[in-house]
Amino acid sequence: MQPTNLDHHRIRARRADFACDGEVRYAPVKSLWFSGMAAAALVGGYFFFRWDALALFVVSTACVLLFGHSLGSHRQLIHHSFQCPGWLRRTLIYCGVLVGLAGPLGILRQHELRDYAQRLPICHDYLRHGRSFWTDAWWQLHCDLHLTHPPRIQLEPLVANDRFLHWLEKTWMLQQLPVAMLFYLWGGWAFVFWGVCARVTAGVLGHWLIGWFAHNRGAMNYEVRGAAVQGRNIPWTSLLTMGESWHNNHHAFPGSARLGLAPGEWDPGWWMLMLLERCGLVWDLRLPESLPPRPELVKARSMVR
């Protein structure tokens, strides 16, 4: 059964099986970026430990995850799940770049491919986090998937014509430098190791970790029938991930600005959006009930493995 709602995707594939054939290859730049940050965080973080540096790590990580990754990259750039002024959109996306995962267009392309592939009946294990924990860690943190028949990803004019986004795409690694300089002037090397290296390490590692669990373990409220993999909700990381770990809900309603849907499903990203809406800074927040119906979506009996 071919899932519906794929028409609005940015993926333009010539073959139905494009998401299956591919090779996972070592990606030197990605691997060195993560390994270098992790090594610097471990060694520098140990020798330059200070409590105020640890506090900076906690606050700066929370800020880039909330405003950058969750609101800027995911709920705005990728899903357009709310509207806001251009300056705020760019500020949020810039914060998303500071997480250190990739450039804005790289993030968008990766997400688009995964999102599309996971809705197909079968897709490559790389795209569905389908291998063991350690194999997936190696793949996602150090390798890239090279599809034999890669699809075209068609970007909408709002994204394709934004020169700021293209500039960020070319310079996303360098964007840590101004932050590092600011932190160095403010608190010396301790602030650089904790506020940049440890923050980037936690962001990249956490993104993979949540990605693995959110496709392998945890409860389901909904089932997308015929999909290669189901999203899972991970309640205990809801605050840490700013609500992003309600991934089963996200598979069910990808265009919703709200991820924690049931009572008790804490969603800090949604709380922030409601606050910004009250200030008049965001509007047109999309919710599950305003999205087109999906016949393949059914209520699931909660399953925990």
Binding site for Zn ion (CB under 5 A): 231
Q: Least CB distance from residue 230 to Zn ion, whole Å?
A: 9
SS3 of 267, please?
coil
Q: Least CB distance from residue 111 to Zn ion, whole Å?
A: 6
Pick between residue 231 and residue 269 the one whose CB is nearest to Zn ion: 231
Q: Least CB distance from residue 101 to Zn ion, whole Å?
A: 14
Q: What is the Cα–Cα distance from 279 to 277, expressed in whole angstroms? A: 5
Cβ-contact 93, 165 below 8 angstroms: yes
- DSSP secondary structure letters along 225-263: TT-SS---B-GGGTTTTTTTTBHHHHHH-TT-S----ST
- Tell me phi and psi for residue 237, to 5 degrees: -110, 15
Pick between residue 77 and residue 198 the one whose CB is nearest to Zn ion: 77
Q: Least CB distance from residue 220 to Zn ion, whole Å?
A: 12
CB closest to Zn ion, residue no? 231
Pick between residue 20 and residue 197 the one whose CB is nearest to Zn ion: 20
SS3 of 153, please?
strand
Q: What is the Cα–Cα distance from 76 to 66, expressed in whole angstroms? A: 12
Pick between residue 60 and residue 118 the one whose CB is nearest to Zn ion: 118
Pick between residue 61 and residue 76 the one whose CB is nearest to Zn ion: 76
Helices (H) and strands (E) in the chain, counts: 12, 6
Q: Least CB distance from residue 147 to Zn ion, whole Å?
A: 18
